[in-house]
Structure formats: structure tokens, C-alpha cells
Amino acid sequence: MQKAFSYRFYPTTEQESLLRRTLGCVRLVYNRALAARTEAWYERKERLDYVQTSALLTQWKKQDDLQFLNEVSCVPLQQALRHLQSAFTNFFAGRAKYPNFKKKRNGGSAEFTKSAFRWKDGKVFLAKCNEPPNILWSRRLPDGVEPSTVTIRLNPAGQWYISLRFDDPRDLTLQPVDPSVGLDVGMSSLITLSTGEKIANPKHFNRYYKRLRKAQRSLSRKQKGSRNWDKARLKVAKIHQKISDSRKDHLHQLTTRLIRENQTIIIESLAVKNMVKNRQLARSISDAGWGELVRQLEYKAQWYGRTLVKIDRWFPSSKRCGQCGHIVERLPLSVREWDCPKCGAHHDRDINAAGNILAVGHTVTVCGAGVRPDRHTSGGQLRRNRKSQK
């Protein structure tokens, strides 16, 4: 199974100088290739691919004003062109938007394949570097395993990270357990379990909001591009990074606990990109990190031999009575508790939804199909059904 472990590392002055030059060259090559492909299409209706942009890179290295491209390893530059090709492939397949130009303030990354680094005695020796970087080993790679790809990344807060990708031969499957659980995500409670337990939402952004607001106000008073502006920008970026790290750490602890305690985890398939278009809820949804929660559950379930079931997002889990199955017409978000008009059962909105998700998840597991009542079928599904009938 392919895995990647990420570590913080602290380069020396010489290493940082070389790595920053490498990131700058990667950014330049990527942006030039993107500009060349865009210009070729709009001016000549011609599509350039990886092979043609690679030939352009060879020509750029021969130019007098671009001789510095020869001072860094050629592998990250070629990998940048491959990443651009993947970005265009995703764009033409409808999975992503048109590629954007890379910006220096966002940091950047450089990917080294096996020909551009050496793994010796548990240390990484990058091309053009005489000494291995000082890596903070939070966990070691499995015995006898060597990384196939090394990625160096600089985040906007000025922190350096190294990611080691490898093929893990270990079998980490956990012992089977009986419990299954349904999860209902929310904002007041991050998730509600079908067992009735509610996990509070830490609201990491709100914890740092005052510090962030003060730092951003200080940044707005600085002249853009000045040295003081760059220092103030770095302070803002560090606060954002701290919020992100706190959120990820909490989600890692939560998802690991869920994976260990349950054999089957059932959750709704969420369209977070569409949900954040609501201006009133966008910040709260983004701060909750629902997308990251589902992502972690997916790969951890694969690692440890658990089952993750996603039910249809249009299933009325909150509106459906868990006792008799009656579906109410309307249930605003402000209503946290309600009584079923048919059987009179009293429901907590989130606990009832989690119980319904668990029940319908078992149906999905047995039948191998999604669950969507006819009255809640979307227009897209109706069109697909009509096409299949034809």
C-alpha cells in the first residue's frame, strides 16, 4: 500500500538557500509552461503536452538569462511539468478548474524521484546537498523500506516539511469488532454518534480570532512589498498555520478513535464545496473540517481493515422519524428537537439523524446500492433514470 509520512525539518543556511532557489526554479518553469500552453491554445489553437513543454525547458536552460536553471537539480523541474500535465488532464476531465499560476508567497514544493536523492542509514541525501537535512523524526519508516519519492515543501508560515512516499508491506489490519456507528456531522456538535454521544466542535478559528484580527489589522497598515509588510504577513500566516495544525490534530485523534472502536462507520457523502457557498455558514463549515474528517476516515479504514459506508447526501436523515419512518415536510436548522406528528416520538435532531444514517447504512451494505426516497430524488438522478429506461 502506498503511503507518505510528512516530517518537519530544519535546513542549514546553505541548504535553505539551495532549496529556496530550487522552489523558485520549479515555480518559474511551471508558470512559463502554463503561459506557453495557454498562449499556444488562444493564438494558434494548438495543444501542448508534456513532451513539448519538456523540449521548451531544454531551450530555456540554454538562454543566458535563465542559466540559473542549471544550478539546481533537473528532476524537480521535470516533475513540475508532469504536475502541470496532470492539472490539465483533471481540467479536461471536469475534475478541476483551469490551472493557476504559482505564487511565491504561498511557499511551494519540489518533488525528487529516486534519481535525485539517496537513502542511506535512515537519512535522506538530496541532489546538490552534501549533508542530510535535520529531520524531526516523529515516527520512523518501517524496517527495510526505502522511500520512492521525496517532496520538499515550504508553507506560507516559513516552515519546512519533507514528505517521504513509500510502499508499506505491513498488514495493519485490526482485530474485528462488533460495533457499527452512524455519524451525523454538524457545527454545534462536530459529530453526533448513533450511540447518543456528541463530540463538541472545538471551533479552532474562534480561539485564535482576536489574535488573527489584530495581526491582519497590523498587516493592512504596512506598505505592500516592504520589509515590515513581509514580517506582518508572516505573523498572519503563522496564526493560520496554528489554526490548521490544531484542527488536523483534533481530527486525527477523533478519527483514530472511531476506527479503533467500530468495524463499520456510516456517514453521509457531503458536498462541502457547494455548502460553503452559503455566506452565513461558510466560515463555520470550513472551520469544522468535514472534508478532512471524511478523508481521514477513508484512508484509515483502508489501512486498518475497517469499512466506511457513505449514504446518499439527499437521504432525509434529520426529517425522518427513527421510530415510524414518517418524513416531515420542513425542519429548519434552528429546530434542534421535534416531535413526530404521526407517532408522537420526541427526537433530538442530531441523534435521530445519526440513528437513521446507521439504519440506512446497513441497507446500503447489504444491497450494495445507494438509498434515496422517490420524493427526494434530485433532477440529475431523475435524468439518469430516464436515460437508463430508454
| CB 148 within 8 Å of CB 167 | yes
> Could you list the active site residues?
184, 268, 350
User: What's the Rg (C-alpha) of the chain?
Assistant: 25
The string of DSSP codes covering 302-326 is HHHT-EEEEE-TTS-TTTB-TTT--
Region for 162 from its dihedrals, namely left if φ exceeds 0, alpha if ψ lies in -120 to 50, beta otherwise = beta
What is the per-residue burial (b if ≥16 Cβ within 10 Å, else e) of 307-321? ebbbbbebbebbbbb
- Give the span between the Cα atoms of 193 and 2, in whole angstroms: 31
- Give the span between the Cα atoms of 78 and 88, in whole angstroms: 16
- Which residues are paired to 10 by β-bridges? 134
| CB 237 within 8 Å of CB 282 | no
- Which residues are paired to 74 by β-bridges? none
| Helical spans, DSSP H, in the chain | 13-44, 50-62, 74-92, 204-207, 209-220, 227-261, 272-275, 282-288, 290-304, 349-367, 379-389
- Give the span between the Cα atoms of 325 and 238, in whole angstroms: 49
Query: Can you tell me which residue has the cell 535535520?
Result: 134
Cα atoms in the Cβ-side hemisphere of radius 13 Å centred on 9:
25
